[in-house]
Amino acid sequence: MARPRALPVAALIAACFTLPTGSIAQDQPRPATSCPVDHDQLADILKKSVKPGGGPSNGGLDNNEWAAVVNRQGIVCAIAYSGSKVDDQWLGSRAIAAEKANTANAFSLKDKAMATANLYAGAQPGGFLFGAALSSPPSADAIYAGTPDDFGTNHDPMVGKAVGGVIVFGGGLALYDDKGIAGALGVSGDSSCADHNVAWRIRHLLSLDRVPAGVSPNMKDAIIYDIGPDGKSPSGFGHPKCNGKEDQIAVDLGAGVSGNVVR
pLDDT recorded at residue 261 = 60
pLDDT recorded at residue 217 = 83
SS3 256: strand
Domain locations along the chain: 32-257
Q: At 27, is the pLDDT very low, low, confident or very high (cuts 50, 70, 90)? A: low
Mean pLDDT of the chain: 90
Give yes or no for a contact between 175 and 208, defined as CB atoms under 8 angstroms apart: yes
Strands 172-177 and 66-71, by their bridges, are unpaired
pLDDT recorded at residue 258 = 87
d(CA 236, CA 50): 30
Q: At 11, is the pLDDT very low, low, confident or very high (cuts 50, 70, 90)? A: very low
CA distances from 111 to 24, 36, 89, 252 (A): 16, 18, 34, 25
- The residues with which 244 forms a beta bridge, in sequence order, are none
pLDDT recorded at residue 100 = 98
pLDDT over threshold 70, residue 25: no
pLDDT recorded at residue 10 = 40
d(CA 119, CA 254): 19
Helices 192-205 and 39-48, packing angle to 10 deg: 120
pLDDT recorded at residue 33 = 75
Q: At 21, is the pLDDT very low, low, confident or very high (cuts 50, 70, 90)? A: very low
Mean pLDDT, to the nearest integer, of 118-124?
A: 97
34-84: pLDDT as tens digits: 999 999 999 999 999 999 999 999 999 999 999 999 999 999 999 999 999
75-117: pLDDT as tens digits: 999 999 999 999 999 999 999 999 999 999 999 999 999 999 9
Q: At 259, is the pLDDT very low, low, confident or very high (cuts 50, 70, 90)? A: confident
Mean pLDDT, to the nearest integer, of 121-149?
A: 94
Point out the least confidently predicted range of 11-25, 89-103, 153-167, 209-223.
11-25
Point out the least confidently predicted range of 15-19, 185-189, 247-251.
15-19
**Rg of the Cα atoms in the chain:** 21
Q: At 28, is the pLDDT very low, low, confident or very high (cuts 50, 70, 90)? A: low
203-245: pLDDT as tens digits: 999 999 999 999 998 899 999 999 999 999 999 999 999 999 9
pLDDT over threshold 70, residue 263: no
Q: Higher confidence at residue 246 or residue 261?
A: 246
**Reduced DSSP (H G I as helix, E B as strand, rest coil) percent helix, strand, coil of the chain, to 5:** 30, 15, 55
| CATH architecture for residues 32-257 | 2-Layer Sandwich (3.30)
Exposure class string for 15-45: b at 16+ Cβ within 10 A, else e: eeeeeeeeeeeeeeebeeeebbbebeebbeb
- The residues with which 176 forms a beta bridge, in sequence order, are 181, 209
d(CA 14, CA 177): 32
